[in-house]
A and B are shown apart, each in its own frame.
Chain A
Amino acid sequence: MLGYAGVSVGYQGRPVLTGVDLTLEAGQRLALVGPNGAGKSTLIKSLLGLVPVLDGTATVLGRAPAEARDQVGYVPQTDALDAGFPVTAAQVVMMGRYRRIGWWRPARGADRQAVRAALDLVGLADRAGKHFGTLSGGQRQRVLLARAIAAEPKLLLLDEPFNGVDVVSQEAILRVLRELTATGTALVLSTHDLTVARDLADIVCLVNGRQWAAGPPATTLTTDNLRLTYGGHAIDLADGRTVLVDP
């Protein structure tokens, strides 16, 4: 599904993140954990072939990342989008079908059906006709998730899907992600929420300029590893847990 070996990624020849070794199988969930500016978004963009791989070997679905885009879904951060843009939730989800529809032909019944099903899955079927900008932050995030689902990807990438998201939407998103992986979709998401990483992921990858650790949550989210990744921002509590201060 995903194979990174000794990979460095970055812009204009300058690496942002180095030493990435990852493999991911169908139906597995990978959480990229690290502070802001650690290179999480850059790594996700490299999986889409939008940021070049400077070193090492990278394959997505057995192909070069840029050539696998038609099988890869991407959920961007909602705050990058203009809330005043005149589109409805259903129109946003339909964008996930555009590459299938092509340039000329109008949307078919199958496309509209996929849009309805995706909105239904994220629990927003009743908001289909609502203007995107009138939805809450969490609902917008769910609409973008529905857009990625409508494209029927084998690999789904989510960039900080829980930023500025209310509890209801977070629960809805977590439920959908579990359902999707149960049907074989592989998942990569970036987060700085250790609880989410621990609860959701099969593999956790700690990054900050380089990959510091990767593996199952129980053996990876250790105090030592968090200290390596977050430096002085990782504080040990008396009960043995580690918390992050202003990461």
Chain B
Amino acid sequence: MDDEDDLLLLNDTGENSSSLPPPVSFSEPSPMSTPAAAPLNNGLKAPPASLCWCFDLRSYQPYFDINTSDIKHRVLSSLHVWKRSATTQDVDYFLSDVLGDNPDAYGPFWITMTLVFVVSVTSNINQWVHSTEDDFESDIDSLLNAMWIIYTFSFGIPLISYFALRCLGAIQGINFMILFSLYGYSLTMYIPAALLCVVPSQAVHWLSLLVASLFSGALIFRNLVGRVMQSEETKSRAILGWFAGCQIIMFLCLKLVFYA
């Protein structure tokens, strides 16, 4: 369906694989503001056939072609996990109605960054409350820990899942950017939960992080389940188990590393 060297950025949404747009030269100026609903694969997405495309700012621009109101809408919709798609009544409201063919990288990146900051600050306040003045550790460690743990979740897991799903052949209409966007937006609920963890009480920590994990897991599950279930039963069970496992590990990591 697509070439070996540009399988990440190509918009392989399955159904329109035969009608890929012809590559357009890069001297063409990028559209400043495309309406949110319009698909973005208007030639900009096809990278040049060399390795240099990953250093070219323009190959990332389609994923930042988004307005404030769209981001606001997406962040709020990522909390409405119980909603169903308006057109098909399927449970994948976020993927089909909100993201559509237009995943962005802005939201996931900055949501993750915000979460890293909030987690490191609140875990530091917790440590500070529980420690005497002398044995208070520097914040840098918790900041670096938060950075690699949370970025592994929001970037590493979609990457591994994407390649695993591809190898298993169990992927229907999902490319890496959609998966990355979905995981990034699923972290939204963790931000208020981490803020709540300022309260130095174990019960509050467990409860708020559990609720956030359930929200995040529900968003990922509801949006992926329909697409994964189209493959064989054993395979789809294993895949769903993998997604659930990642969610549980993320939950325990946050709880035990930062709010112990």
Note whether A and B form a binding pair.
no
Residues of chain A at the chain B interface (Cβ within 8 Å) = none
